[in-house]
């Protein structure tokens, strides 16, 4: 995924160049390019391809512009409505997060909303100190280990499987693919009842390895489907060429196919990172009885059952719990959006 | 002598390497080694637990007791005739239907607004989209807690404070049964709108531009283009969105677990929480498994609908 390939809308669009607006809609509708095959809902984050800008000036555009200019008043009213919507949406979606951050920074005596203000009168980290005293560092560590190793394992298991489903023709392939799709659609919540006895009989209860293996079982179906879509967009001629050059299948995968499917691997990694970091019910069932193994979700949940009415502390625990994902999200926004879109389309 | 020994060993070693290489080649030319880790993981962590759930649902297994007996379909009979189950189905239905309507509606409005903003070059569409998506990547447990803090039932809660300013409240957002359900729906919408939004936004981007141009040529105005191009073109995506939102809503657990834990009473106890309580609070594994199997059936049914939509929906 080259950074210049996929610019999120708005970043390269100047506010005010309104009338040419329709040009942005003319993006590639094909299945993708070899560098960036689109599996499913590929380019939905408003990529304006640099090379595609030539098509923006299609003959119809000046006429459209003129017509739109005529209907200017109509536009201005609609613009106002849309701005209003943006405001309401930002308030509804961002305010709770900002409020939690604000609450977590209040000094011990200050009440949550008396006086009502988003920026606390005095900033204090005492709530955070309390959260870290209760073991937040351990939870962060556990979640990080489980997420990193888990996502790595999921990728390591699903890439070869996706390759096999894309490149081999064997008996039962379609049925097996159907089964994988079925598992992808079935919610993991369903297996929590037998899970305890299953994990106990496998000696995996209260082990991080057990939870990681479980996540591999839960998350590979979606990952395989998504990656298979990427493999399918690569012409098999590429494989044949590599084979003639003396590569076996393993070498072909490593040296020839891995680069074109890298965006797919990134999507799989991003989506699974969000899932593994946030996952609660499976982690709670497998690790819930061993305090030293708590993940962030379990830790925060147990923390709030212990400090039920200490809103500042609960807010601080929540902030620490969501901060890593939010940071990564803000840093990698464009890849993230792509990952979330494709992932949710094919996943869960 | 040493040289002879080396030479003598060289032959078999080379042959061994050659044989290993041949074996490797034959292995990598067969699909099984590629699929083996996946098949093992699926068998152990998906198939086996599902079979175990079905088996458990036919027994009277209790977590704390030792002896279990096969009871046939007794758990299912008990379940379907119990008032608790029926009440849970109603709660789940209210939660699911509200979620479907609100997520899809808000998602549609936001997707259209952002699409419009992108095309008109309005400010703020990126920030809007980031705020909506931010809500989605917050872990479910933490979403429950965020709303718990927002909805504190005194002047200390942000929402109650604001309502107090206009002379309302304090509103018992979590201790009144009906309001508690509304609260879970609001928190669920806070999280789930992002999903519907990006699904529908993706759908908007895939509407061929030439359709709009053709409509323009035919003299269609803004509203006519929306009514006769956008809406029909968006239908398959909307359908798939609705099915997927339904699946999510029916399997919701962590958010409600943290926000109300099913309470007050059982007022917000949806499917997954009901199952969880049966199995892990009342230790009735058999009954809990029966609930799980029913939920599995619902999931399978919705999956069938989804796959059907996929076929007619022209590879969404």
- Whether the ω angle into residue B77 lies within 30 degrees of 0, i.e. cis, is no
For the cut 70, the answer to whether the pLDDT of residue A253 exceeds it is yes
Residues A95 and A210 in one domain: no
DSSP A256: I
- More confident: A24 or B286: B286
Quick one: residue A16, left, alpha or beta (phi over 0 = left, psi -120 to 50 = alpha)?
A: left
Restricting to A residues 248-307, those with a Cβ less than 8 Å away from any Cβ of B are 248-250, 274, 277-278, 280-281, 296-297, 300-301, 304
A186 in the same domain as A154: yes
Q: Would you tell me how many other CB atoms lie within 10 Å of the CB of residue B303?
A: 17
Q: Do A281 and B48 touch (CB under 8 A)?
A: no
Pairwise CA distance, residues A266 & A317, whole Å: 29
Q: Which residues of A touch B206 (CB under 8 A)?
A: 29, 41, 44
pLDDT, residue A161, reads: 95
Which of A27, A74, A89, A116 is the best mutation test for B, with the most CBs of B within 10 A?
A: A89
Inside any domain, residue A12: no
Residue B290 CA, chain-centre distance (Å), reads: 21
pLDDT at B41: 93
Res. A13 pLDDT band, cuts 50 70 90: very low
Q: What is the pLDDT of residue A51?
A: 38
Gap between the Cα atoms of A317 and A103, Å rounded:
11
Are the C-beta atoms of B170 and B153 separated by less than 8 Å?
yes
**By mean pLDDT, which of A38-47, A130-139, A263-272, B222-231 is the weakest?**
A38-47
- Under 8 Å between Cβ of B132 and A89: yes
Q: How many domains does chain A have?
A: 2
Note whether residue A14 is domain-resident: no
Which parts of chain B sit beneath pLDDT 70?
1-11, 65, 310-316
Nearest CA among A59, A314, A19, A246 for reference residue B122:
A19
My answer on whether A299 and A189 are in the same domain is yes
Q: Do B37 and A321 touch (CB under 8 A)?
A: no
Q: What is the per-residue pLDDT for A114?
A: 65
Q: Give the pLDDT confidence score for residue B90 in this predicted structure.
A: 95
**Are B137 and B199 in contact, with CB atoms under 8 Å apart?**
no
Q: Quote the minimal CA–CA distance from A109 to chain B in Å.
A: 13
Of B113, B222, B303, Cβ closest to residue A185: B303
Residues A109 and A252 in one domain: no
CA distance A339 to A40: 11
A189 & A102 share domain = no
SS3 sequence of chain B = CHHHHHHHHHHHHHHHHHHHHHHHHHHHCCHHHHHHHHHHHHHHHHHHHHHHHHHHHCECCCCCCCCCCECCCHHHHHHHHCHHHHHHHHHHHHHHHHHHHHHHHHHHHHHHHHHHHHHHCCCCHHHHHHHHHHHHHCCHHHHHHHHHHHCCCCCCCHHHHHHHHCCCCCCCCCCCHHHHHHHHHHHHHHHHHHHHHHHHHHHHHCCCHHHHHHHHHCCCCHHHHHHHHHHHHHHHHHHHHHHHHHHHHHCCCHHHHHHCCCCCCCCCCCHHHHHHHHHHHCCCHHHHHHHHHHHHHHHHHHHHHHHHHHHHCCCC
Residues of B in contact with A180 (CB under 8 A): 38, 42
Q: Could you tell me if B145 lies within 8 Å of chain A, comparing CB atoms?
A: yes
Question: Which class for B15: exposed (0-12), middle (13-18), buried (19 or more C-beta within 10 A)?
Answer: exposed
Residue A345 has pLDDT above 60, yes or no: no
What pLDDT sits at residue A311? 85
Taking an 8 Å cut-off on Cβ atoms, the answer to whether A186 and B299 are in contact is yes
* A161–B35 C-beta distance less than 8 A: yes
Specify the CATH superfamily of domain B74-312: MetI-like (1.10.3720.10)
Task: Nearest by CB to B206, from A29, A248, A315: name it.
Answer: A29
The yes-or-no verdict on residue A325 having pLDDT over 80 is yes
Cα-Cα end-to-end distance for chain B: 73
Beta bridge partners of B59: B70
Any chain A CB within 8 A of the CB of B65?
Answer: no
Q: Are residues A87 and A225 in the same domain?
A: no
Q: Determine, yes or no, domain membership for A221.
A: yes
Same structural domain, A120 and A138? no
Which whole number is the average pLDDT over A156-171? Answer: 93
pLDDT digit string (tens) for A40-88?
333 333 333 333 333 343 444 555 555 555 555 567 888 899 999 999 9
Strand partners, B138: none
Residue A32 has pLDDT above 50, yes or no: no
Residues A143 and A240 in one domain: yes
Q: What angle do CA B96, B99, B100 make, to 5 degrees?
A: 85
Judged by a CB distance cut-off of 8 A, whether residue A79 touches chain B is: yes
> Is the minimum CB–CB distance between A137 and chain B shorter than 8 Å?
no
Whether residue B28 and residue A250 make contact (CB cut-off 8 A), yes or no, is yes
Q: Tell me which residue in B119, B158, B302 faces A21 most closely, judged by beta carbons.
A: B119
Residue A326 domain flag: yes
CB contact under 8 A, A224 and B38: yes
Q: Where are the domains of chain B?
A: 2-57, 74-312
Mean of the per-residue pLDDT values of chain A: 77
Nearest chain B alpha carbon to A154: B38
Contact flag A113-B139 (C-beta cutoff 8 Å):
no
A316 and A222 fall within a common domain? yes
Neighbour tally for A157: CB within 10 Å: 23
A160 and B142 in contact by Cβ < 8 A? no
Question: Residues with Cβ < 8 Å from A149, sequence gap 6 or more?
Answer: A208, A212
User: Are residue A314 and residue A169 in the same domain, yes or no?
Assistant: yes
- B chain contacts of residue A64, beta-carbon cutoff 8 Å: 216
A213-230 burial, b at 16+ Cβ within 10 Å, e below that, comes to bbbbbbbbbbbbbbbbbb
Q: A204 and A83 in one domain?
A: no
Q: Is A46 on the interface with B (CB under 8 A)?
A: yes
Q: Round to whole Å and give the CA distance between A43 and A267.
A: 13
Residues 6+ apart with CB under 8 A from B22: none
The pLDDT value given to residue B172: 87
d(CA B290, CA A216): 26
Q: Which of B67, B65, B58 is nearest to B282 (CA)?
A: B65
Rounded distance between C-alpha atoms, residue B115 and residue B201, angstroms = 7
Cβ contact (<8 Å) for B133 and A330? no
Q: Specify if A161 maps to a domain.
A: yes
* Average confidence (pLDDT) over A332-342: 69
pLDDT computed for residue A115 by the predictor? 66
In a domain, A228, yes or no: yes
Per-residue pLDDT at A131 exceeds 60: yes
Q: Is B24 an interface residue toward A (CB < 8 Å)?
A: yes
Nearest Cα residue in chain B from A47 = B205
One domain for residues A210 and A248: yes
pLDDT of residue A308: 76
B200: Cα separation from own chain's centroid: 17
Q: Whole domain around residue A94: which residue ranges?
A: 72-124
Predicted confidence (pLDDT) per residue in B48-74, tens digit = 999 999 998 998 888 776 777 888 888
**CATH assignment of the domain containing A146:** 1.10.3720.10
Length of chain B (residues): 316
Nearest CA in chain B to A9: B118
- For residue B216, what is the nearest residue in chain A, using CA coordinates? A64
pLDDT tens digits along A198-244: 898 889 999 999 999 999 999 999 899 889 988 998 899 988 989 88
pLDDT at B63: 74
A7 lies in some domain:
no
Contact B116 A78 (CB under 8 A): yes
CB atoms under 10 Å from CB of B210, counted, come to 11
ipTM computed for the complex:
0.86
The verdict on residue A222 lying in a domain is yes
Closest CA to B272 of B293, B292, B246, B299: B292
């Amino acid at each position: 995924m080259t950074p210049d390939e996929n610019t999120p809308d708005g970043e390269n669009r100047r506010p005010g160049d309104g009338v040419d607006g329709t040009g942005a809609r003319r993006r590639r509708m094909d299945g993708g390019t070899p560098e960036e095959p689109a599996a499913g809902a590929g380019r939905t984050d408003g990529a304006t391809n640099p090379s595609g800008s030539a098509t923006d000036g299609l003959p119809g555009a000046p006429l459209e512009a003129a017509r739109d200019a005529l209907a200017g008043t109509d536009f201005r009213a609609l613009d106002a409505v849309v701005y209003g919507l943006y405001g309401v949406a930002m308030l509804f979606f961002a305010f709770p997060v900002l409020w939690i951050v604000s609450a977590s920074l209040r000094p011990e005596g200050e009440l949550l909303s008396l006086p009502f203000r988003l920026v606390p009168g005095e900033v204090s980290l005492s709530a955070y100190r309390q959260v870290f005293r209760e073991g937040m560092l351990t939870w962060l560590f556990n979640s990080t280990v489980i997420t990193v190793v888990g996502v790595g394992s999921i990728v390591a298991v699903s890439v070869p499987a996706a390759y096999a489903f894309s490149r081999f023709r064997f008996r039962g392939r379609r049925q097996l693919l159907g089964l994988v799709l079925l598992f992808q659609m079935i919610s993991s919540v369903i297996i929590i009842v037998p899970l305890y006895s299953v994990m106990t009989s496998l000696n995996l209860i209260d082990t991080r390895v057990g939870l990681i293996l479980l996540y591999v079982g839960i998350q590979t179906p979606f990952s395989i489907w998504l990656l298979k879509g990427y493999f399918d967009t690569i012409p098999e001629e590429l494989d044949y060429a590599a084979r003639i050059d003396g590569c076996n299948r393993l070498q072909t995968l490593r040296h020839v196919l891995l680069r074109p499917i890298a965006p797919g691997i990134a999507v799989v990694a991003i989506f699974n990172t969000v899932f593994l970091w946030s996952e609660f019910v499976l982690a709670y069932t497998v690790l819930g009885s061993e305090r030293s193994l708590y993940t962030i979700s379990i830790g925060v949940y147990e923390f709030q059952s212990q400090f039920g009415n200490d809103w500042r502390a609960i807010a601080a625990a929540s902030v620490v719990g969501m901060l890593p994902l939010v940071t990564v999200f803000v840093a990698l926004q464009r890849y993230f959006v792509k990952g979330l879109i494709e992932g949710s389309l094919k996943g869960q | 002598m040493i040289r002879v020994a080396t030479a003598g060993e060289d032959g078999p070693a080379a042959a061994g390497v050659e044989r290993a290489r041949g074996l490797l080649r034959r292995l990598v030319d067969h699909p099984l080694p590629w699929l083996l880790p996946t098949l093992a993981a699926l068998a152990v962590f998906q198939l086996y637990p599902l079979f175990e759930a079905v088996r458990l649902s036919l027994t009277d297994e209790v977590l704390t007791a030792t002896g279990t007996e096969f009871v046939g379909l007794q758990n299912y009979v008990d379940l379907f005739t119990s008032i608790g189950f029926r009440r849970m189905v109603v709660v789940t239905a209210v939660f699911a239907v509200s979620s479907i309507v609100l997520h899809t509606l808000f998602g549609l409005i936001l997707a259209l607004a952002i699409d419009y903003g992108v095309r008109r070059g309005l400010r703020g569409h990126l920030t809007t989209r980031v705020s909506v998506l931010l809500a989605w990547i917050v872990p479910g447990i933490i979403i429950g807690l965020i709303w718990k803090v927002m909805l504190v039932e005194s002047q200390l809660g942000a929402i109650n404070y604001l309502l107090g300013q206009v002379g309302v409240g304090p509103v018992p957002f979590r201790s009144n049964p009906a309001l508690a359900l509304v609260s879970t729906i609001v928190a669920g919408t806070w999280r789930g709108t992002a999903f519907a939004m990006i699904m529908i936004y993706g759908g908007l981007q895939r509407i061929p531009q030439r359709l709009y141009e053709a409509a323009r040529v035919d003299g269609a105005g803004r509203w006519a283009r929306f009514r006769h191009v956008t809406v029909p073109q968006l239908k398959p995506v909307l359908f798939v969105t609705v099915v997927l939102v339904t699946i999510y809503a029916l399997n919701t657990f962590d958010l409600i677990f943290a926000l109300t834990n099913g309470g007050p009473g059982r007022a917000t106890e949806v499917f997954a929480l009901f199952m969880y309580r049966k199995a892990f609070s009342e230790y009735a594994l058999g009954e809990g498994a029966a609930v799980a199997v029913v939920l599995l059936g619902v999931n399978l049914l919705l999956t069938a609908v989804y796959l059907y939509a996929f076929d007619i929906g022209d590879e969404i």
